[in-house]
């Protein structure tokens, strides 16, 4: 005889999952059958839908049709899909297997995902977290979808195993091989045919073809991932087995002339990749010891970027005129400021390329030299050997230079020598890490440079950022409230309806609505009025106000102009500039 307690427990309502509730509401199952099936699935630690179909409570096709109507989602014919042709890098294969999901495509920053359970909020949140994209469900029959998921994830796993296990086809003749500058290292040759080497070569070629600026090889406790920075945005490309990390790190070190046995301290090196009969790409390599192995970042240094010309960088006509006028001066100092990765080096080398003529002696000191420019005497700073920026500058001045480029002014000694060079008939180009043009002058003052030396040597300062460029094929007009535009920095007089802001959409030719990047510049010539402010030890605020009076756009104003002409979006401008 059942006790009152057991009767009460059996009669307690069961919290059905979304699929169960939908089937009961549609009249496909009774409440009791749905609850009993759910209890059985939970007891056997099985999938509820799998238990439903396995018990014969409902057919897979009937279930799919019912859920498509209940959740207003499209119905997919799974038989029409070829697992080999489906994208393999949209979501993690483990996630796909665990939740029986299949990523079909990417559209407008959202993933189109096939599922048999559109009520699974946990799966949707996991996808959003791992991809940073929203999810649009497409309903498929559970049994057919399960077979597709198995075939798809198996093919993806086999593809990665073949790379690591030794069955990877690699066309060395057409792609070229990453080789050290001097090919006398036997360790490099011993592993030349290893699958890990082929995997590295493939990553380098893929990054170059995708116009990535950096590759990140990141080891974690139970995961190893490779990410590319494309248009300033990091994207996970592949997640190879964790076991690959030591061999991959060793191969990169061999090519970069680094110490393979040293894993306790960071190291810096370079390597080359031949991508054509007459095209070689340089890579700058940086290793960093982390908890679970060495993180390696490889920066792509494409010499052709310095030869694109000043028009390709995104200078507005008046900004271009100011810059060209400054570099045509016989002496003085030109400073380019901005954070790491803002394109300072490309801007400097674009100027050097314009100045690089047979009758001109140009010398550069960098740490390290990122772009090789024939006709320019380039020196790599080596702190350990005693070759500092200051030592290199002193040597330059004994070799009758016309133009000197210093990679970065880091200390008072380097700044002092550079300023003396600018005051004694040399054109000096360099960089500083400051937020905008006016604060550069106060930063130099704080370094200990006398106001007179700053005022008499600096002729122009350019602050810059890089913003993602809207894809011209898919960008769409965007309706932004007037108040939001004014808050962003637009003047009310500019909101006259003569222009339209655009937003990113996303298509097959771009990366979430963006394609490439464009420079945003604050080009500030040092006028006589600014020199007076500097000599009076004025603040960055006073210098900035004088610059505005002279028609110099701030970084935010320059960026908003790019919004007006449809080059970038307001969202991107707000992300890369400060008001």
Looking up residue 32, the CATH number of its domain turns out to be 3.30.300.160
Domain closes at, from 153, 178, 212:
153
390 and 254 share one domain: no
Task: Give domain status of residue 579, yes or no.
Answer: no
Q: By the 8 A CB rule, do 241 and 164 touch?
A: yes
Residue 570 covered by a domain:
no
Residue at a domain's end among 102, 134, 153: 153
Q: Do residues 137 and 62 share a domain?
A: yes
| CATH label of the domain that carries residue 243 | 3.30.450.90
Domains of the chain: total: 3
In terms of domains, do 291 and 312 share one? no
Mark whether 344 and 392 lie in a shared domain: yes
Is 173 a member of any domain? no
Tell whether 404 and 277 lie within a shared domain. Answer: no
Distance between CA atoms of residues 39 and 12, nearest Å: 12
Is 565 contained in some domain? no
Same domain for 459 and 330: yes
Same domain, 249 and 324: no
Strand order in the sheet with 279-290: 178-179, 267-276, 279-290, 293-301, 212-219, 224-230, 233-238
Kindly state whether residues 339 and 437 are assigned to the same domain: yes
Helix, strand, or coil (residue 155): helix
- 148 and 294 belong to one structural domain: no
Q: Is 487 inside any structural domain?
A: no
Domain membership flag for residue 175: no
293 and 356 belong to one structural domain: no
Domain holding 68, by residue range, is 18-153
Does residue 296 sit in the same domain as residue 321?
Answer: no
Burial of residue 85, with CB atoms counted within 10 A of its CB: 0-12 exposed, 13-18 middle, 19 or more buried: exposed
Which domain CATH number covers 449? 3.40.50.300
Residue 79 lies in a domain: yes
Q: Is 457 strand, coil or helix?
A: helix
Q: Using CB atoms within 10 Å of the CB of residue 386, give its burial: 0 to 12 exposed, 13 to 18 middle, 19+ buried.
A: exposed
Instruction: Confirm whether 500 is domain-assigned.
Output: no
Question: pLDDT 10s per residue in the chain (579 long)?
Answer: 444 444 444 445 567 778 888 888 888 888 888 888 888 888 877 778 888 888 888 888 888 888 888 888 888 887 777 766 777 667 777 777 778 888 888 877 788 888 888 888 888 888 887 677 788 888 888 888 888 877 766 555 454 444 444 333 333 333 344 444 444 444 444 444 357 888 888 888 888 888 888 999 999 988 899 999 988 888 888 888 888 888 899 989 988 889 988 889 999 888 887 766 667 778 889 999 999 999 999 998 766 665 667 778 888 899 999 999 999 999 999 999 988 878 888 888 889 988 998 899 999 998 877 777 888 999 988 887 888 888 888 999 898 899 999 988 888 888 999 999 999 889 999 998 888 899 998 889 988 999 999 999 999 999 999 999 999 888 999 988 888 889 988 888 888 888 899 999 888 778 788 888 889 999 999 999 999 999 999 999 999 999 999 999 999 999 999 999 999 999 999 988 876
Q: Are residues 205 and 354 in the same domain?
A: no
CA atoms within 13 A on the CB side of 491: 4
Domain-terminating residue out of 275, 301, 327: 301
């Amino acid at each position: 005889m059942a006790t009152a307690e057991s009767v009460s427990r059996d009669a307690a309502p069961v919290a059905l999952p979304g699929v169960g509730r939908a089937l009961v509401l549609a009249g496909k199952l009774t409440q009791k059958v749905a609850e009993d099936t759910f209890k059985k699935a939970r007891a056997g630690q099985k999938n509820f839908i799998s238990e439903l179909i396995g018990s014969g409570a409902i057919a897979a096709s009937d279930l799919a049709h019912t859920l498509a109507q209940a959740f207003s989602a499209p119905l997919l014919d799974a038989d029409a899909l070829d697992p080999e042709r489906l994208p393999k890098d949209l979501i993690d294969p483990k996630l796909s297997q665990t939740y029986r999901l299949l990523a079909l495509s990417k559209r407008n920053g959202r993933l189109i995902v096939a599922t048999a359970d559109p009520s699974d909020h946990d799966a949707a949140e996991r996808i959003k977290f791992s991809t940073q994209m929203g999810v649009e469900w497409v309903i498929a029959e559970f049994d057919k979808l399960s077979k597709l998921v198995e075939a798809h994830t198996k093919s993806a796993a086999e593809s990665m195993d073949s790379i690591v296990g030794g069955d990877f086809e690699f066309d060395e003749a057409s792609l070229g091989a990453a080789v050290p500058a001097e090919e006398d290292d036997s360790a490099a040759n011993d592993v030349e045919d290893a699958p890990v080497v082929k995997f590295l070569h493939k990553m380098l070629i893929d990054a170059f073809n995708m116009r990535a600026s950096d590759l990140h090889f990141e080891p974690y406790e139970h995961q190893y991932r490779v990410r590319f920075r494309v248009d300033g945005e990091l994207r996970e490309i592949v997640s190879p087995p964790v076991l690959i990390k030591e061999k991959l790190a060793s191969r990169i070190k061999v090519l970069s002339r680094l110490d393979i046995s040293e894993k306790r301290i960071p190291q810096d090196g370079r390597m080359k990749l031949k991508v054509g009969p007459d095209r070689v790409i340089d890579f700058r390599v940086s290793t960093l010891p982390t908890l679970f192995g060495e993180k390696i970042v490889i920066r792509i240094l494409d010499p052709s970027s310095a030869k694109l010309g000043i028009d390709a960088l995104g200078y507005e006509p008046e900004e271009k005129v100011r810059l060209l006028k400054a570099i045509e001066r016989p002496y003085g100092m030109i400073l380019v400021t901005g954070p790491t990765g803002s394109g300072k080096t490309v801007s400097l080398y674009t100027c050097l390329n314009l100045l690089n003529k047979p009758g001109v002696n140009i010398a550069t000191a960098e740490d390290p030299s990122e772009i090789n420019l024939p006709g320019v005497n380039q020196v790599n700073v080596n702190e350990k050997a005693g070759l500092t920026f200051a030592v290199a500058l002193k040597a330059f001045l004994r070799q009758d230079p016309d133009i000197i480029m210093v990679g970065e002014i880091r200390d008072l000694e380097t700044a002092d020598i550079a300023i003396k060079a600018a005051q004694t008939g040399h054109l000096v180009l360099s960089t500083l890490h400051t937020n905008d043009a006016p604060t550069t002058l106060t930063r130099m003052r704080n370094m200990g440079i006398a106001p007179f030396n700053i005022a008499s040597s600096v002729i122009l300062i350019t602050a810059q950022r890089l913003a993602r460029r809207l894809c011209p094929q898919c960008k769409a007009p965007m309706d932004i409230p007037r108040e939001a535009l004014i808050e962003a920095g637009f003047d009310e007089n500019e909101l006259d309806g003569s222009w339209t802001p655009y937003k990113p959409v996303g298509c097959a030719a771009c990366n979430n609505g963006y394609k490439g990047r464009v420079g945003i510049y604050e080009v500030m010539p040092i006028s006589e009025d600014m020199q007076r402010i500097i000599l009076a030890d004025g603040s960055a605020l006073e210098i900035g106000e004088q610059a505005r009076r002279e028609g110099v756009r701030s970084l935010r104003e320059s960026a908003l102009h790019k919004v007006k002409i449809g080059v970038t979006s307001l969202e991107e401008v707000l992300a890369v500039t400060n008001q």
